[in-house]
A and B are shown apart, each in its own frame.
Chain A
Amino acid sequence: MTSARRSIAIGVLLLVAALVPLVAGDYYVNLLSQMMIAALLAASLNLLVGYAGLTSLGHASFLGVAAYSSAWLNLHSGLGPLASAPLALLGTLLVAAVFGWIALRASGLGFLMLTLALSQVLWGLAYRWVGVTEGDNGLRGLTRPQPLGLDLDSAAAFYWMALLVVTIALGLIALLVRSPFGAALRGTRDQPRRMSALGYDVWLIRWLTFVMAGFWAGVAGVLYIWYHQYIHPSSLSLQASAEVLLAVIAGGAGTLAGPVVGAVVVVFLKNFVSSYVERWNMLLGIVFLLIVLFLPEGLVPGVKRLLTRLRSGALRP
């Protein structure tokens, strides 16, 4: 696809997305809002999994840190939800910086285990540090922000706000990936030793990526807490982290659209199909299995490959 056609396609998609609340019921609008939050989280993890070649199994921690700190500030410091957001993001940035510093002592399986261990520490903290997190009861009694007097309590208003934030975030992630830094990042994924020999600081590039991935997950966390007005330790459990990873891999790691599509599929199964099928986890497993078997590179690249094959087949005399 040429870049002009791509821009038109994205523009049309955004326009359609913006018009959805005018025709769809609240439930579906809210479902889409949740999909967008999940998509941003998956896109942030994709920076690590897809572009840096580092598989993290603890990415939900950053969503959790941002959501918990935003909620806590909102409840205990007198700051409004909007004012507590930058502080929450700063906190997340710091946590990501420290976690990255620890986890990047290894790569491959070691990195995976370290991220898993670190996320379990945070999860345990959320469960047991009852004085701050209220443990199993979760933090509640929160409000949504009212930027410029806009009331985000309605499903449609929140949706538009989320659409704006997520579009900007995804745009910035896309810019990053296409920048020289993004090229260097892919270099560290494919040829770390050669990159090193060329004078690139592989560790620094990976660490910066880790911090940025944490930051964007934090943005998703702030949207999450605004949306749900509630946070519980299960939001940063291993299952939550695994779901994001699943979304990235199912959609297609290392592509921009892949994680978005993956997140949409996961949220759809989890929130919509689960009302009809009690064992939706099993269904998710089967869907994932089918993707791995038939489209091992993920939904987006897989479908693209099939389309290309179909087109060239049709053109052949």
Chain B
Amino acid sequence: MSIGRRQFIRAGGAAGGAALLAMPAITRAQSSTIRIGLMTVKTGPLASGGIDMERALVMYLKERNYMLAGRKVELFVGDSAGVPATARTKLQELVEKNKIHVMIGPLDAGSALAVDDYIRAQSLPTLSVAAAEDMTQRKPNPWFVRGTSTSSQCSHAMADYCTKTLKWKRMALIADDIAYGHEMLAGFQRVFEENGGRIVQKFFSPLAVPDYGTYLAQLKTNIDGIFLGFAGSNGFRYLRQFNEYGLSSKVAVVGGMTALDESVLRNMGDEALGILTACWYSAELANPLNKAFAANFRSEFKYDPGFYAAATYVEGAVLETALKSVDGRIEDKVAFMKALRATKAFTVRGPVAFDDHGNVVGDVFIRKVERKEGRLVNTVQYTYPSVSQFWTYPPAEFLKNPVYSRDYPPARNLEP
């Protein structure tokens, strides 16, 4: 067949979009549809995840026939290209032109930080995928909930696992040089060092770095392992070069929630086998909702859903639950926001609830890459139940410290 299913869907979408444009403005104004804006990334190094975000959300809405809480919904998608300045322009467009009621996204912490003040100014309810810590910590945005996790929410758990179960003492860390990478490594370092370990090397590589050679050449081999805090397809690119440099037999690898995401795992080979990562989701989760979701996603797109796909699917469920509790009246923003924050939903990742700051409290899984039915999957090894963004620290004490960053907590054990 020359026209694939996906192409057909895309063509259908385009035709639908054209029809929408042609529709007179008056009918659009009168219809009481709920307009959802999805801010994602469809070009650049983060695109693999961004496309998953759109696919999963469209799937969620399609399964409900584009009806949530008895009201018709309409989806508008903005592509930020992973550039924070563009995210701002695109969000303005979603708000001012498409008049969205609620935003799902953005994908990356940089974009979330760039649109933070705009969200406040517009009082726009936002269900974030991006992990920017302070938006639910020291500078909580009242219009913001996050059903996924903060940058460090899963890396805290990974560090705990590395010290307590793997008994590691010396580690190196590497991540993209963006807020997400800084925060993830900072959280990992804090727990790892407080549990008695030492971080002896810490690297930040530019998001669009063409080659990891210089970072690999510097890597010490007398360490227990390296933690990868990459986003998008960078984990895949790093690991491939890591393997080419012959390091895979010398240094063990663990990763954060997006380093070996299912969206890039499908392109990897045996070099990925056995790698442990921490995430709030795995396509292998056995709950009934996820079994159906993963199977449907796989049959439609021929690969497993990962962090990004699950993110919008979870946010979709949170949105629907909140809408139901206010009988679909999204126009009353304050009431809707209150309902959103009080939402308790069972989703594909398991139970989801929010803390006082609008961030999720949910299970975090330690997963291991295994080969199953001929494809690589992240099998769940261990579960940390009901993990909060504050890990085991009392929130008040946690918030007294500066936000996790490139320089905080200071890395005191670096070796030259």
Interface centre among A230, A234, A235, by most B CB within 10 Å?
A: A230
Interface residues of B in 68-112 (CB under 8 A from A): 78-79, 83-86, 88-90, 92-93, 96-97, 109-110
Q: Interface 1/0s, chain B 115-141, versus A by CB < 8 A?
A: 011000100000000000000000000
B116 touches A140 (CB 8 A): yes
Within 8 Å of chain B (Cβ to Cβ): is A232?
yes
Q: How far is the CA of A153 from the CA of B118 in the complex (A)?
A: 11
Q: Which of A25-33, A292-300, A302-310 has 4 or more CB atoms under 8 Å from chain B? A: A25-33
B359 nearest CB across to chain A (Å): 20
Q: List 29 A-B contacts (CB under 8 A).
A: A25-B96, A27-B92, A28-B97, A30-B92, A30-B96, A34-B89, A135-B177, A135-B178, A136-B110, A136-B178, A136-B206, A137-B84, A137-B109, A138-B110, A138-B113, A140-B114, A153-B121, A228-B88, A228-B89, A229-B117, A230-B84, A230-B88, A231-B85, A234-B83, A234-B85, A271-B89, A274-B79, A275-B93, A276-B21
Give, as a whole number of angstroms, the nearest-CB distance from B81 to chain A.
9
- The 10 A-B pairs with the shortest beta carbon distances in the complex, nearest first, are A27-B96, A27-B97, A26-B96, A232-B85, A136-B178, A137-B179, A232-B84, A137-B110, A234-B83, A138-B84
Contacts of B177 in A (CB 8 A): 130, 135-136
Residues of A within 8 A of B406 (CB): 130
Cα-based distance from A304 to B117 in the complex (angstroms)? 45
**A235: B residues at CB distance < 8 A:** 85
Chain A contacts for B78, CB-based, 8 A = 275
Is A127 located at the chain interface by the 8 A CB criterion? Answer: yes
| CA gap between A234 and B93 in the complex, in Å | 20
B275 at the interface (CB under 8 A from A): no
Q: Which residues of A contact B97 (CB under 8 A)?
A: 25, 27-28
> Which residues in A have their C-beta under 8 angstroms from that of B96?
25-27, 30, 155
Main secondary structure of the interface of B (DSSP, over half): helix
Chain B residues with CB under 8 A of A136: 110, 177-179, 206-207
Most chain-A CB neighbours within 10 Å: which of B21, B90, B117? B117
B351 interface contact, C-beta 8 A = no
The 8 Å CB contact of A271, one of B21, B93, B114, is: B93
B35 at the interface (CB under 8 A from A): no
**Considering the chains assembled together, what is the distance between the CA atoms of A115 and B410 in angstroms?**
39
Most buried by B among A25, A28, A137, A231: A137
> For residue A277, which residue of chain B has the nearest CB?
B14
B121 to chain A, nearest CB (A): 7
Give the CA-CA distance A155 to B206 in the complex, in Å.
35
Q: A27-B96, A231-B85, A232-B85 are in contact. Are A141 and B179 (CB under 8 A)?
A: no
Residues of A within 8 A of B (CB): 25-28, 30, 34, 127, 130, 135-138, 140-141, 153, 155, 228-232, 234-235, 271, 274-276, 278
Q: Which residue of B lies closest to A153 (CB)?
A: B121
Which residues of the partner chain A approach B179 to less than 8 Å between Cβ atoms? 136-137
Q: Find chain B residues with CB under 8 A from A232 CB.
A: 83-85, 110, 114
Known: A138-B114, A230-B88, A278-B43. 12 other contacts (CB 8 A): A27-B97, A30-B96, A130-B177, A136-B179, A137-B113, A138-B113, A141-B117, A228-B88, A228-B89, A229-B117, A271-B89, A275-B90
Q: How far is the CB of B122 from chain A (nearest CB, A)?
A: 10
B121 — which chain A residues lie within 8 A by C-beta? 153
Q: Assess A137 versus B178: contact at CB under 8 Å? Given A228-B85, A228-B88.
A: yes
CB distance from A27 to the nearest CB of B (A): 4
Q: Is the CB of B79 within 8 A of A278?
A: yes
**A136 to B79, alpha carbons, bound, how many Å?**
18
Q: How far is the CA of A136 from the CA of B179 in the complex (A)?
A: 8
How far apart are B373's CB and chain A's nearest CB, in angstroms?
34
Interface residues of B in 10-32 (CB under 8 A from A): 17, 21
Residues of A within 8 A of B21 (CB): 276
CA of A271 to CA of B17 in the docked complex: distance in angstroms? 17
Residue B42 is within 8 A (CB to CB) of chain A in the complex: yes
The docked-state distance in angstroms from the alpha carbon of A203 to that of B94 is: 49
Chain A residues, CB < 8 A from B42: 278
A140 lies within 8 A of B92 (CB) = no
User: How far in angstroms is the closest Cβ of chain A from B74?
Assistant: 15
Q: How far is the CB of A81 from chain B (nearest CB, A)?
A: 14
Residues in chain B near residue A229, CB distance under 8 A: 117
Chain B nearest CB, measured from A175 CB (Å): 33
Q: Which of A30, A234, A275 has the most CB of B within 10 A?
A: A275
**Also in contact, A230 and B114, with CB within 8 A (given A27-B97, A127-B206, A235-B85):** yes
CB distance from B130 to the nearest CB of A (A): 12
Residues of B within 8 A of A137 (CB): 84, 109-110, 113, 178-179
Q: How far is the CA of A183 from the CA of B85 in the complex (A)?
A: 39
Taking the closest CB of chain B, its distance from the CB of A193, in whole angstroms, is 44
Q: A139 to B179, alpha carbons, bound, how many Å?
A: 12
- Write out the residue numbers on chain A whose beta carbons fall within 8 Å of the beta carbon of B207: 136
Q: Which residues of B contact A26 (CB under 8 A)?
A: 96
Considering only CB atoms, which chain A residue lies closest to B182 in the complex? A137
In the complex, what residue of chain A is closest to B207 when comparing beta carbons? A136
Instruction: Tell me the B367-409 residues at the A interface (CB within 8 Å).
Output: 406
Residue of B nearest to A138 (CB): B84
CA distance A189 to B333 in the complex (A): 60
* Bound Cα distance A34, B93 (Å): 13
Q: Please indicate the chain B residues that have their CB under 8 angstroms from the CB of A30 in the complex.
A: 92, 96
Query: In whole angstroms, how far apart are the Cα atoms of A138 and B89 in the complex?
Result: 15
Closest to A231 in B: B85
User: Could you tell me the distance in whole angstroms from the C-beta of B374 to the nearest C-beta in chain A?
Assistant: 33
List, in ascending order, chain A residues with CB within 8 A of B92's CB: 27, 30
A-facing residues in B35-76 (Cβ within 8 Å): 42-43
Closest to A274 in B: B79
Which residues of A have CB within 8 Å of B43?
A: 278
Tell me the nearest residue of chain A to B139, going by C-beta. Answer: A141
B109 — which chain A residues lie within 8 A by C-beta? 137
**Chain B min CB distance to A231 (Å):** 7
Is A140's CB under 8 angstroms from B79's CB?
A: no
Query: Closest A-chain residue to B206, C-beta based?
Result: A127
CA distance A235 to B90 in the complex (A): 15
- What residues of B have a CB within 8 angstroms of the CB of A138 in the complex? 84-85, 110, 113-114
Which residues of the other chain, B, contact A276 by a CB distance below 8 angstroms? 17, 21
Q: Is the CB of B17 within 8 A of A230?
A: no
The answer on a CB contact under 8 Å between B85 and A230 is yes
Give the distance to chain B from A210, nearest Cβ to Cβ, in Å: 27
Taking the nearest CB of chain A, how far is it from the CB of B214, in angstroms?
14
User: CA A271 – CA B43 in complex, angstroms?
Assistant: 15
